[in-house]
A and B are shown apart, each in its own frame.
Chain A
C-alpha cells in the first residue's frame, strides 16, 4: 500500500447525502484510478485520470464524480444519485511509462 493513502477507512452515508473519498499519492505518478469492489464481482473501474485536469469515465461512472486538480490527489464523490453505494472503494496509481498499478488500502462505504 505504501505511497498511496485513502481516507477515511470507513465512511457512513445517509440517504440523499453526497460523500467524498480521499486518495493521495506521493509516488509522482501521472495516472490515478478509482475502482469499486463488490463480493464476487472483482474490481470495476469507476473513473481514471491520465494527467492533471483530465479524467475519463470507466465502466460504472453513473452516480460518481471526480476531480484532478493536483497530481497527487484524486478525490471521488459518491452522489445521492448512486442508489447502491455500499462497497469497498480502491484507489490506484501508476506512471504512464510503467505498467504496474499500485493500490491504496481502501475505503469501505456503508449506508445508514
Chain B
C-alpha cells in the first residue's frame, strides 16, 4: 500500500536560516513524489516533483527536494528561509497501481512551517 509520512506537524525557523521539511514514503514500485504548499484558505500550489533522473529536484520559489531511495525520503529544503514561506506544506506520492486506482495521489498530513523574523 502507498503511504506518506510527514513526521513533524510544525517546523519553526528563523528568517535567513536553511529550512528542511521532512517526508518519507512507502510504495510498491517506483515512486512519483510531489510537494505542494498551501496558504491560509487557499488551494494547494504545486512546488516540485520527482519522476526520474537527478535526485536533487529544483522547484518554485527557491525550494528544492532531495530524493533518497535507500532512506525512502523526499525532504523539502531551502537554503535561506523567508517570512513569506510560512505556510502548510504537503508531500504526496503517486500511485501507479492497476485498475481504477491508476494515478491517484496519497498525501501526508502536512507540516506547518513558520519562519520568524
> Contacts A42-B90, A42-B108 given: A1-B103 contact, CB under 8 Å?
no
Contact check: which of B100, B105, B108 meets A101 at CB < 8 Å? B105
Selected interface stretch from A12-20, A43-51, A66-74, A77-85 = A43-51
Closest to B44 in A: A103
Closest to B6 in A: A42
> Contacts A42-B90, A43-B90, A99-B49 given: A94-B109 contact, CB under 8 Å?
no
Least CB distance from A52 to B in Å reads 16
Q: Are A45 and B109 in touch, CB under 8 angstroms? A: no
Q: Are B103 and A42 in touch, CB under 8 angstroms? A: no
Q: Are A94 and B103 in touch, CB under 8 angstroms? A: yes
Q: Are B49 and A103 in touch, CB under 8 angstroms? A: no
Q: Mark B40-61, 1 if CB is under 8 A from A, else 0.
A: 0111111001010000000000
Contact check: which of B46, B90, B108 meets A100 at CB < 8 Å? B46
Interface residue tally of chain B, by bracket? 20 to 34
List of A residues within 8 angstroms of B107 by Cβ: 35, 42-43
Closest to B94 in A: A99
Contact check: which of A6, A96, A104, A108 meets B103 at CB < 8 Å? A96
What is the interface of chain B mostly: helix, strand, loop, or mixed?
Answer: mixed
List of B residues within 8 angstroms of A104 by Cβ: 43
> Contacts A43-B90, A48-B104 given: A105-B49 contact, CB under 8 Å?
no
Q: Are B49 and A1 in touch, CB under 8 angstroms? A: no
> Contacts A48-B104, A94-B103, A96-B103 given: A106-B43 contact, CB under 8 Å?
yes
> Contacts A102-B46, A103-B43 given: A42-B94 contact, CB under 8 Å?
no
Q: Are B109 and A42 in touch, CB under 8 angstroms? A: yes
- In the bound assembly, the distance between CA atoms of A6 and B108 in angstroms comes to 23
Binding site for A on B (CB under 8 A): 9, 32, 34, 36, 41-46, 49, 51, 90, 94, 100-105, 107-110
- Can you list 17 A-B pairs with a CB-CB distance of less than 8 A? A6-B43, A33-B104, A35-B107, A40-B9, A40-B109, A50-B103, A56-B100, A56-B101, A58-B104, A90-B43, A92-B44, A94-B103, A101-B34, A102-B46, A103-B43, A105-B43, A106-B42
